[in-house]
Structure 1
């Protein structure tokens, strides 16, 4: 039995492609892994706050030296990190916004990437503290084509950033499914969605 953390990041509802595809994956997964527990977080509709000065002060103050105000400032971050660490696998639905990720997801990442909790720093550099055997599946939706070999591949700051920041905290087993060309005509859109759904079915079988 596995504990899966499922996160959607799009502010859209029923019109969201990333939501519909992540839902398709998790629904199929639960059908074949009946005992698994899924924790769902909707960052698109219930965003977490951005890091502020109190948060920074709390993050760099030893727990036994924090004031009640600093404990309150870091409380949500602690909860989000506990939730992250409790999960065995991760499924993220992430649309591409302006060549990168939505600000809702960036705010979440800033809450969970924390020295002493998800990464360590010393004279030898940085080390991720999250179990590197845990698997991550990221389903993206993109208006154009940005995968390697396409003319606009150099503009993809979404997958490289997510691979880098997740690897920074220890999550190195990351798989991407890209639904691309969603704004380039009905034929290309349909072709991409069919390919994404086929990749989702394969991920359900082999992830």
Structure 2
């Protein structure tokens, strides 16, 4: 059975444009593949703990020697890594917050970046171990960052592409929902354009 991992991170709940567009994209991908299931991880309502000393030491401590706290925090990381590895496609949604991704999504990245599980180092340098997956990034922003003078302030898209690429996920499509703070007409147009693009992506999947 095919699996689609949907990772949302907006704190805006039902008002979130990134969550709406990403959810509809995941549903369109599901409809394209009969029997596919969607596994949703809502990082706003169920945030992962930010990595701390117990995590940083626990991932390098043998399982039998970990403290209870280390077992718990590494177990959280193991769980989200397992979700990622089991997925055939990944849909990630975030609003652009202060020119970058949400802190909850950054915590998810920190938990899935695991030496020996999602990447490794060898004689030829780092190697991503999470391969063969299609990734869709849905990024919402109040302004327009895909081009023009504000493009230099978009640190979300290049960061996500770099972090995911390091882990082996290089087949990445970006869906922008931008300019939503530039008036009702611009907001409606941004959402409509994004949803239309997701339909094209689903057809091509």
Note if contact 2:91-2:135 (Cα within 8 Å) is conserved in structure 1: yes
- The CA RMSD measured in Å over matched residues stands at 1.5
Contact 2:4–2:26 under 8 Å retained in 1: no
Please state how far the C-alpha of 1:71 moved relative to its aligned partner: 2.5
For residues 193 and 103 of structure 1, the distance between their equivalents in structure 2, rounded to whole angstroms, comes to 24
Gaps of 5+ in 2: none
Moved more, 19-28 or 150-159: 19-28
Match of 2:200 in 1: 202
- The match for 1:173 among 171, 178, 189 is 171
1:185 is matched with which residue?
183
Cα drift, residue 34 of structure 1: 2.5
Q: What's the offset of the Cα at 1:15?
A: 0.8
The residue that corresponds to 2:8 in the other structure is 8
- The residue matched to 1:51 in structure 2 has which SS? coil
Q: Shift of the alpha carbon at 1:194?
A: 1.7
How many angstroms does 1:72 deviate by? 2.8
Q: TM-score, normalised by structure 1?
A: 0.93
Question: CA–CA distance in 2 between the matches of 1:73 and 1:18?
Answer: 28
Task: Tell me the CA shift for residue 21 of structure 1.
Answer: 0.8
Shift of residue 33 of structure 1?
2.3
SS in 1 for 2:149: coil
Equivalent positions of 1:148-159 (< 5 A) are: 149-159=147-157
Question: How far apart, in 2, do the equivalents of 1:104 and 1:198 lie?
Answer: 28
Number of positions where the alignment pairs a residue of Structure 1 with one of Structure 2: 205
- With the length of structure 2 as denominator, give the TM-score of the two structures: 0.94
**For residues 68 and 46 of structure 1, do their structure 2 counterparts lie closer, same or farther at Cα, with a shift above 3 Å needed?**
closer
